[in-house]
Copies of this chain bind each other. A is one copy, B any other.
Amino acid sequence: ATEGWQAADGELTRVVTRENFRDALLFVNAVGYLAERANHHPDISIAWNKVTLTLSTHSEGGLTGKDFALARLISDLG
C-alpha cells in the first residue's frame, strides 16, 4: 500500500495528527483542493487535531488506481 496508508476492506485509511484543530482544518482544505482536482473524494473526519481519511471507489466496490493516485498526492502534502 501507499506509505502511511492502511489498506483493508476495500479502503485506504490514513490518520493524520496536526498541532491543533486549526491546523487540522487547514490540512483538510488542502485535501479538499486535491479531491476536487481529482474529482474523487475521501471520507474525512476531524476530531480536534486528528484527521481520518478514507479512500474507496464506491462505484467499483473497492480500491482502484484513483484511490492510490489521490493517496499519493495527499501524502505529498507532508
Pick the contact of A36 from B22, B28, B36 — CB < 8 Å?
B22
A10-28 vs B: 1/0 string, CB under 8 Å?
Answer: 0000000000011001001
Say yes or no: is A9 at the interface (Cβ < 8 Å to chain B): no
- How far is it, in angstroms, between the C-alpha of A28 and the C-alpha of B28 when the chains are bound? 10
Q: In the complex, which range does the number of interface residues on chain A fall in?
A: 10 to 19
A22-B41 Cα distance, complex, nearest whole Å = 10
CB-nearest residue of chain B to A22: B36
Known: A28-B28, A29-B29. A21 touches B45 (CB 8 A): no
**What 9 A-B pairs come out closest when comparing CB atoms?**
A45-B45, A44-B46, A25-B32, A43-B47, A21-B41, A41-B48, A22-B36, A21-B35, A44-B45
